[in-house]
Each structure stands twice: as C-alpha cells, then as structure tokens.
Chain A
Amino acid sequence: DAKTTQPPSMDCAEGRAANLPCNHSTISGNEYVYWYRQIHSQGPQYIIHGLKNNETNEMASLIITEDRKSSTLILPHATLRDTAVYYCIVRASTTSGTYKYIFGTGTRLKVLA
C-alpha cells in the first residue's frame, strides 16, 4: 500500500498562503491523492483530490509533481478557521475490488493572527 509522509506541524500567518507538503513516493499509477482536514473531535472534512493534473476548487489548490511522488496543498489566504490537522491520503484499490483510503499522521496547521 502507498504510504504518505507529512511534516507534523506548521505555522502560517493569517492572510498568507499555507503550503502543506506530502510525500507519497510509493504511489501507483491509478491511485488518487486526497486531502482532508479535521478539527478536534469531528469527522474529517473533504478538501480536494487529484490523480495527475493540478486541481483547484473554492477551498484550495492541489499541486502534484510530474512523477506523482509528492504533492502540495495550498490554502491561498489562510484564516484562523483553517487551523486544523490536514491529512494527505492515498486511495488504493484492493483485491476485492473496492478501495481503501490510507491515512498518514497528518500536519497540524496553526494559523497565527
């Protein structure tokens, strides 16, 4: 199974871009990268996902390197409400035909006023 590696913590000034890196060097060609965030004692919230191309939505942008071994989640203008733990996840197919979502340990982002 592909595994993800993230820095344990990061700080970002309010209003600045937050760039959260993720390493997934063992990812296979058909495995997607997902990003979720979790605020204490709640279920994780979906942010964005991608396979090869860069993606953007109303919450964030996802930059995936050409070799797909790493990616970066960008929150363009971080606010205090973006303080959370951010998980980079690889969706891997299983032998039974379904999918498993492999979570790393996450990055604790603290947005500073």
Chain B
Amino acid sequence: DGGITQSPKYLFRKEGQNVTLSCEQNLNHDAMYWYRQDPGQGLRLIYYSQIVNDFQKGDIAEGYSVSREKKESFPLTVTSAQKNPTAFYLCATAGLAGGREFFGPGTRLTVL
C-alpha cells in the first residue's frame, strides 16, 4: 500500500550478525505492526506499537527488538538470538481507532 516504505526489499546477512529492517509511514497512523511470514504460512505478529516510546510483544517476539522514537518510524532489529531469522518481514499500520491495516511491500531477509 502507498504510504509505507520498507527497505531494503532483499537483505542478506551472515549468521550471528544483528540486522535492522526499516519501516517508515506517512499515513499519520498511530499503530504500527511487524509480522513474520515463513514459506506457505500465514503472518505471525512480532511486535506492535500504538504510540511513540511504547510497544508490546506479539506472539513471536523472542530474538527481536523494536523502537518507536518517532510516529513515522518503527524499525525492527533481528538479533543473533533469533534462531531461524530467514523469512519475509512485513510492516503494517492502522489508525488508533482501528480500521483496516495497511501493509508495506515487505523485506525478504536471508541469513547465510
């Protein structure tokens, strides 16, 4: 969806390295979300945030960290503690009052 930028589209890293995935939005949405998708699977929630400097763990937060220093930005760090980080990562936003989620184009992370 327009208004959400994820970069890069493809990312390669060596095992044991931390890597940060970018998510930026200009939709003025309060809530932001990170999901992980493995091949042939649905989306699993990693972290979400409704306001600046506040975020909550989703279903699979172990090995990941986030920050929300600005309303527009919600970067995700995949740490070396994440056992199997190779996956497709999707960022999404929504208004604080709910409504539909808007998704970014995704980042495909491959750890070699």
- Whether B105 pairs with A104 at a CB distance below 8 angstroms is no
- Whether A49 pairs with B100 at a CB distance below 8 angstroms is yes
| Closest A residue, CB atoms, query B104 | A43
- Whether B58 pairs with A105 at a CB distance below 8 angstroms is no
**Known contacts A98-B50, A100-B45, A105-B42; is-contact A42 B105 (Cβ 8 Å):** yes
B10-46 at interface with A (beta carbon < 8 Å): 30-31, 33, 35, 41-45
A36: chain B residues at CB < 8 Å are 101
A101: chain B residues at CB < 8 Å are 33, 45, 92, 94, 101
Interface of B with A (CB < 8 Å)?
Answer: 1, 4, 30-31, 33, 35, 41-45, 48, 50, 54, 56, 58, 88, 90, 92, 94, 96, 98, 100-106, 108
- Whether B94 pairs with A99 at a CB distance below 8 angstroms is yes
**Known contacts A91-B98, A96-B56; is-contact A41 B106 (Cβ 8 Å):** yes
Interface of A with B (CB < 8 Å)?
Answer: 32, 34, 36, 41-46, 49, 87, 91, 94, 96-106
A98: chain B residues at CB < 8 Å are 30-31, 48, 50, 56, 96
| Closest B residue, CB atoms, query A47 | B100
| Closest B residue, CB atoms, query A43 | B103
Give the distance in Å from the alpha carbon of A44 to the alpha carbon of B94 in the complex. 14
Q: How far is the CB of B99 from chain A (nearest CB, A)?
A: 9
- Whether B1 pairs with A43 at a CB distance below 8 angstroms is yes
Please indicate which of the listed interface residues B35, B42, B88, B103 has the most CB atoms of chain A within 10 Å of its own CB.
Answer: B42
Give the distance in Å from the alpha carbon of A99 to the alpha carbon of B96 in the complex. 8
Please indicate which of the listed interface residues B31, B98, B106 has the most CB atoms of chain A within 10 Å of its own CB.
Answer: B98
**Known contacts A49-B100, A91-B98, A105-B42; is-contact A97 B90 (Cβ 8 Å):** no
Given contacts A98-B48, A98-B56, 15 further A-B contacts (CB under 8 A): A32-B98, A41-B106, A41-B108, A42-B106, A43-B4, A43-B103, A44-B90, A49-B100, A87-B42, A97-B50, A98-B30, A101-B92, A101-B101, A105-B41, A106-B42
**Known contacts A32-B98, A91-B98, A100-B48; is-contact A41 B42 (Cβ 8 Å):** no
